[in-house]
């Protein structure tokens, strides 16, 4: 599945080139502009290609692999992009916590807008797809006629994650362990008896599904 992101029209982007020099740093802020009190820096004392995270008091912080990857990507994108660029990004969600996935998309939109640029992103992330409009989502699927490219028939921006997962990533076509478990139990007892045995340990969605599966309507 590929996502394309384009900037808004009428933007007069900055043409200056960004570079991260020794001892320079980038402050990490939330999407609303509020500072987190953290900075990512490449220092003259660090090994080449490594970055150090520091709190407001200058104390070094240990970053997870996902945080390091996020920092590396952000700094390299900002340092390399030019006006009217095309960015090719392959599965940025690897190693990223879902909240960092959201921040990555938020950051990418801002950079593309500033530089009047576009991005093509390959992803398997439901979180990422939810943050972009339907017109920017392209699903690649194999068929008897070869490769097929289609778009979801519903608005993905701010959409329901289960619906996105089901249609965009084919979740509905995959046999799930919990459904096999339910099928096995329904072969032994009815839906009402199974729900009584589960004694309230299932959510409302699963209750509806168990009753539907018991009627052969799932």
- Do 146 and 182 lie in one domain? The reply is no
81 and 110 fall within a common domain: yes
Place of tokens 């018991």: 214
Select the more confidently predicted residue: 95 or 62: 95
CA 188 – CA 214 distance, rounded (Å):
11
What average pLDDT score do residues 169-198 get? 86
**Rounded CA separation 68/163 (Å):** 31
pTM of the model: 0.62
Residues 182, 148 share a domain = no
Same structural domain, 161 and 181: no
Domain range holding 97? Answer: 2-172
Looking at the fold, whether 113 and 182 belong to one and the same domain comes out as no
Q: Quick one: 37 and 86 in the same domain?
A: yes
* Shared-domain flag, residues 93 and 162: yes
Domains of the chain: total: 2
Q: Where in 91-171 does DSSP place strands (E)?
A: 118-122, 137-143, 146-150
CATH number of the domain enclosing 157: 3.40.50
**Confidence at 56, pLDDT banded by 50, 70, 90:** low
């Amino acid at each position: 599945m590929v996502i394309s992101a384009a900037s808004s029209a009428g933007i007069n982007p900055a043409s200056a080139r960004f570079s991260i020099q020794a001892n320079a740093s980038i402050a990490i802020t939330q999407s609303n502009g509020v500072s987190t009190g953290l900075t990512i820096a490449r220092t003259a004392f660090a090994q080449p290609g490594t970055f150090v995270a520091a709190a407001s008091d200058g104390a070094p912080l240990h970053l997870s692999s996902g945080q390091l990857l996020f920092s590396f990507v952000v700094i390299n994108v900002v340092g390399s992009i030019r006006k009217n660029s095309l960015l090719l990004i392959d599965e940025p969600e690897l190693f990223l916590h879902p909240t960092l996935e959201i921040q990555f998309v938020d950051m990418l939109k801002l950079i593309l807008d500033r530089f009047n640029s576009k991005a093509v992103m390959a992803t398997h992330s439901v979180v990422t797809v939810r943050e972009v409009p339907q017109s920017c989502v392209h699903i690649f699927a194999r068929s008897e006629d070869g490769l097929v490219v289609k778009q979801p028939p519903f608005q993905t921006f701010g959409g329901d994650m289960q619906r996105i997962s089901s249609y965009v990533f084919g979740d509905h076509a995959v046999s799930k362990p919990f459904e096999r478990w339910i099928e096995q139990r329904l072969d032994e007892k009815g839906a009402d008896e199974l729900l009584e045995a589960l004694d309230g340990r299932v959510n409302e969605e699963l209750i509806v599904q168990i009753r539907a599966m018991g009627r052969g309507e799932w």
